[in-house]
Amino acid sequence: MNRVDHTFLSSSGIVIVLLLIGPFLPQWLLFLITVSFGKGLVVLGLLLLMRTGLVSFGQGLYYCLGAYTVGALGMALNLNDAFLTLLLGGLAAALLSFILGFLMAGYRGIFFAMLSMAFSMILYGLLVKTALLGSTDGFNVHVPTFLGMAVAGSWVRYAVYALACVVALGVALGLNRYTQTSLGRLSPAIKDNELRVEYMGASVRRAIHIKYVIAATLAGLGGSLTALTVGHIDPELAYWTTSGEFVFITILGGTGNVLAPFLGALIFESIRSFAYEYSPNTWQMVLGAALLLVIIFLPSGLWSVFKTRPKGA
Amino acid sequence: MSDLLTVLVDGILYSSWLFVIAVGLTLIYGVMKILNMAHGSLYALGAYMAASLAGQWLSKGYAPLGSYAMLTLAAVIVGLVMGPLIERGLLRVMYGKDETLLLIATFALFLILEDVIKLIWGVDPFFISEPYGLLGSIDFAGLSYPAYNLILISVSLTTGIGLIYVLQYTIKGKLLLAVIHDQEMSQAMGIKVNRFYMTTFTVGAMLAAIGGAFTAPTVSVVPGMGVEVIVLAFAVVVIGGLGSLPGAALGALIVGLVRSAAVHYLPEIELFSIYLVMALVLILKPQGLFSTVEARKI
């Protein structure tokens, strides 16, 4: 029980501080944090899957779907409300994942990774050839409004940033609660031994289906947030390297705590921004080396560095 | 009718290319149970090395036909250097860990190699088109095809037949089959499993590099050329069944024909069609078309 309060207090505290100092932060930092939180949401979903023993190399599918939902709503219906489009972006991902989930729930290990990758590459292949949605170039997303109100130009970035902080907090706490429920506790059990879970009377298929939908919804939300803050979307969002990035961040942060994905995403984006700035031809190498070091020396991710008390599971 | 023939010929040409890039991947998976995401980078390394060596060869004014030997030499060098380096340096510390963790480790390797290539060769494209035009062209069914395609086909056939010969008819190959079948038991029988792993990975890397080296004359060699190849190779081996040689051949043929048909009849679905087939095969026959029933080990 102690740990729940700990996560609740620290994350709420962090978000309140972030909201307060936001207006004083430079625009690039607001952007960096917003993008990181968007990716953090996707990674949070991956964390859920990974705790269940599943690795998806295709979260880009839902990330891209969320982003394109936001963009298309603005383009086709001139619907630019940040809250509404965010919600619909998540919903679109939830809907598609509910359908695909019937299939995905039957796959494990490398086949789960491959099938999810195939689905995201199908979306990529479709978008690349869809002239209406800008083909390979993608298109620009309208500047969002907030509950029908237009926000003054310089404050748009802060507004999306604040939205990202609040959504990230809500989702992280919700997921933290979820891991305490009986369904949530099935995750490590399924990872350890599926057969025993079935013998105990729980449906592994159903549990995985639900987790898959949750993960996809989070990816949809993350993609929507990214579209809102970046202001431009292209099919690259569904490419397999994007999905690989998410797996990367999951490993980097570790799967021990719901805050780890956000820490991982922040570190990842920072390394990338700075490495890209100072040595544009070696930033991938820096990232790759970091990933290898984490896999070999910190198998529970960077989060394990901060943990003082040893914990089961 | 001639339309259909064009589709077939294009499809077969594309298939033979696909087979070369995918067969190394399936070999490595079959023996070591590693799905190597860095396979595309090894392919790119082969292409760059080939462009450098063949470029040197031609600029020195030696016999142009020798450039084909240079392409092969490039692939052999890349395989012999990178194979043992990666297997000894990285994979060896990872054996026994989860399959998906190994997948992620090779993803890290992919990121590193992409930049290693940029550091060595820079970001400017390389062109080495002489070997491509050297043999002239052949007329077939009313269309003219570069004769270089024959070389691609023969490389593809040679690797396929060579691998089957080694696996089925040589002692080493039979030992390798034993390792695939039961690694622990074969170790107990005195087979040096570690050495087989290293050799397999080296051969797999070499095959990726051969794919790259012989593709180099037909394209511009640019950074990131391996990124697309890796998903294509995945599609091929997944369709055929991971770890199966005939499967890789069948997968290459299916992907090749589907793509060539799509290009001719419905260009909009070209890219998408390949992954659709991959998804369909995974849905209908998850273990791939050439799968064997795997007994569950307790």
Comparing CA positions, the residue from B231, B251, B232, B233 lying closest to residue B241 is B251
Enumerate domains of chain B plus CATH numbers: 2-284 (1.10.3470)
**pLDDT of A143:** 87
**pLDDT of A313:** 41
A117 vs B contacts (CB less than 8 Å): 231, 234
**pLDDT of B298:** 39
Angle at A28 between CA A22 and CA A34, to 5 degrees: 60
A241 vs B contacts (CB less than 8 Å): 227
Tell me the ipTM for this assembly: 0.84
Lowest mean pLDDT: which of A186-190, A226-230, B17-21, B128-132?
B128-132
Largest CA distance in chain A: 59
Comparing CA positions, the residue from A3, A109, A40 lying closest to residue B282 is A109
Encode pLDDT of B60-93 as tens digits.
888 888 888 899 999 999 999 999 999 998 888 8
Burial class of residue A311 (count of CB atoms within 10 Å of its CB; 0-12, 13-18, 19+) = exposed
Distance, CA of A119 to CA of B277 (rounded, Å): 11
For chain B, list residues whose CB is within 8 angstroms of any CB belonging to chain A.
35, 37, 90, 93-94, 99-101, 103-105, 107-112, 114-116, 118-119, 123, 227, 231, 234-235, 238, 242, 268-276, 278-279, 282-283, 286-287
**pLDDT of A312:** 45
For chain A, list residues whose CB is within 8 angstroms of any CB belonging to chain B.
55, 57, 103, 106-107, 109-111, 113-115, 117-119, 121-122, 124-126, 128-129, 240-241, 244, 247-248, 251, 281-285, 287-289, 291-292, 295-296
**pLDDT of A307:** 63
**pLDDT of A5:** 64
Distance, CA of A234 to CA of A227 (rounded, Å): 10
A113 vs B contacts (CB less than 8 Å): 100, 103
Average pLDDT over residues B206-228: 90
Q: What is the mean pLDDT of chain B?
A: 87
Is B222 a residue whose pLDDT tops 50?
yes
Is B131 a residue whose pLDDT tops 60?
yes
Chain B residue with Cα closest to A55: B100
**pLDDT of A94:** 96
**pLDDT of A157:** 87
Average pLDDT over residues B145-150: 85
The band of B18, judged by pLDDT with boundaries at 50, 70 and 90, is very high
The band of B138, judged by pLDDT with boundaries at 50, 70 and 90, is confident
Is B251 a residue whose pLDDT tops 70?
yes
The band of B295, judged by pLDDT with boundaries at 50, 70 and 90, is very low
Average pLDDT over residues B190-215: 93
Which residues are B138's β-sheet partners?
A: B145
Please identify every stretch of chain A with a pLDDT value under 50, giving residue numbers as ranges: 1, 309-313
Count helices and strands (H / E) in chain A.
13, 2
